[in-house]
C-alpha cells in the first residue's frame, strides 16, 4: 500500500492535461456488455433530485462536485469517490464557478451481486456505506482500469473479470449490508410498500397521484411518503421518474422516435421528456442516443 502523500503525487501525475471543465459536455461508452461509462464536464448544469436503478461509482477528476444524498451535502474534490446504491436519490451541481469533471460507471444490481457471489468475504447484499469518500489508491486503480478498458478493447471475459475484481475490493473496503434507516418495517409493512413499488413499475405511464399510491398501500399519504423514503432511500415521485427514465432509455435503444418515447413513458410531451431526462442523466435524450451510436427508426 503506498502512502497518502505518494498516492496524491501519483494521482496528480496520472491526470490527463485536458482534464479541466470547459462547458457542458459528456461522452458515454460501454466498458462491458453490462457496465456503462460516462465521462462528463459541467460548468452550469444542475442535476435534479433523481435516482438510478443501478449502482453508480464515480471519481471526480477536476473541480468540486457538490451534491446532496441521505440528507447531507457533500463536496467531492479531485480523487474523491461518489458512490450511489440503487434507488438512492441525490442531486448534483458545481461546487465552484470553475465547474467540475468526473468519470462514472453505471452497473446493474445483478452484475454487482454476481461479483459478490464469487467472494465469500463480502456479504451478498453489500451496499456502499457512504455516498462520498476519499481513497486515493482505489481512485487511481479506478482511473487506470477505466482508461485501459475504454482505450484498449479486449476480450469480454477479461474486461468483466477486472471490473468484478475492482468491485470486490471496493466493497470489502467501503461496503456494508444494506440497512434501512429508521425503524425496520414489519413483514406486512414491507409487503405493502413493495406493492407500491410494483404498482409504480406497472402503471408508470399514468399520471399517478399520492392518494392513489396511498390507497394501494392502505396508508395515509403522509405516512406512505415517510416510510417509503425511509425503507427504499427514495421518495415515490423520484422513484417514478427513475422508472420512466430507465424505460425511456430502453425504448431509445430500440430505435423508437423521441416523441413516441415520451408518450410511452408517461411524459406530457417530448419537451417534458427532455427536461427530466437531462435532469437525471446529464444529457438530452437525443445526445444520449447519439453517444450510444443509436438512430431512430
In this predicted model, what pLDDT tens digit does every residue of 185-234 receive, in sequence order?
677 788 999 999 999 999 999 999 999 999 999 999 999 999 998 888 89
Rounded Cα distance between 247 and 244, Å, is: 5
CB 233 within 8 A of CB 50: no
Rounded Cα distance between 115 and 191, Å, is: 28
What is the per-residue pLDDT across 75-108, written as a single tens digit (0 to 9) for each?
Answer: 999 999 999 999 999 999 999 999 999 999 999 9
In whole numbers, what is the pLDDT of the chain averaged over residues? 87
State the pLDDT confidence band at 154, using cuts at 50, 70 and 90.
Answer: low
| Alpha-carbon distances of 145 from 14, 61, 164, 178, 202, rounded to whole Å | 12, 15, 11, 27, 38
Q: Which of 17-21, 38-42, 124-128, 176-180 has the lowest mean pLDDT?
A: 17-21
CB 240 within 8 A of CB 276: no
The pLDDT of residue 69 = 95
Cell numbers 457538490 correspond to 66
| Structural domains present in the chain | 4-177 (2.60.120.10), 187-291 (1.10.10.60)
Rounded Cα distance between 206 and 266, Å, is: 6
% of the chain beyond a pLDDT of 90: 71
Rounded Cα distance between 32 and 16, Å, is: 23
The pLDDT of residue 182 = 47
The pLDDT of residue 122 = 55
| Alpha-carbon distances of 164 from 37, 161, 279, rounded to whole Å | 15, 5, 30
Amino acid at each position: 500500500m503506498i502512502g497518502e502523500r505518494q498516492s496524491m503525487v501519483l494521482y496528480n501525475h496520472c491526470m490527463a492535461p485536458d482534464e479541466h471543465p470547459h462547458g457542458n459536455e459528456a461522452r458515454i461508452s460501454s466498458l462491458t456488455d453490462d457496465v456503462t461509462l460516462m465521462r462528463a464536464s459541467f460548468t452550469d448544469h444542475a442535476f435534479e433530485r433523481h435516482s438510478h436503478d443501478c449502482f453508480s461509482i464515480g471519481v471526480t477528476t477536476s473541480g468540486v462536485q457538490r451534491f446532496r444524498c441521505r440528507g447531507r451535502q457533500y463536496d467531492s474534490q479531485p480523487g474523491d469517490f461518489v458512490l450511489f446504491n440503487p434507488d438512492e436519490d441525490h442531486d448534483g451541481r458545481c461546487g465552484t464557478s470553475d465547474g467540475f469533471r468526473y468519470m462514472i460507471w453505471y452497473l446493474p444490481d445483478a452484475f454487482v451481486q454476481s461479483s459478490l457471489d464469487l467472494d465469500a468475504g463480502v456479504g451478498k447484499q453489500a451496499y456502499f456505506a457512504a455516498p462520498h469518500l476519499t481513497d486515493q489508491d482505489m481512485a487511481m486503480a479506478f482511473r487506470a482500469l477505466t482508461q485501459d478498458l475504454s482505450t484498449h478493447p479486449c476480450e469480454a471475459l477479461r474486461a468483466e473479470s477486472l471490473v468484478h475484481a475492482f468491485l470486490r475490493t471496493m466493497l470489502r473496503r467501503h461496503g456494508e449490508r444494506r440497512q434501512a434507516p429508521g425503524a425496520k418495517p414489519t413483514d406486512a409493512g414491507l409487503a405493502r410498500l413493495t406493492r407500491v413499488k410494483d404498482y409504480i413499475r406497472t402503471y408508470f405511464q399514468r399520471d399517478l397521484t399520492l392518494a392513489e399510491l396511498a390507497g394501494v398501500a392502505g396508508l395515509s399519504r403522509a405516512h406512505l411518503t415517510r416510510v417509503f423514503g425511509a425503507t427504499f432511500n427514495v421518495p415515490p415521485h423520484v422513484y417514478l421518474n427513475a422508472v420512466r427514465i430507465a424505460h425511456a432509455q430502453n425504448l431509445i435503444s430500440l430505435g423508437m422516435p423521441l416523441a413516441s418515447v415520451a408518450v410511452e413513458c408517461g411524459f406530457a410531451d417530448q419537451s417534458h421528456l427532455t427536461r427530466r431526462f437531462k435532469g437525471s442523466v446529464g444529457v438530452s435524450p437525443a445526445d444520449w442516443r447519439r453517444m450510444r451510436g443509436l438512430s431512430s427508426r
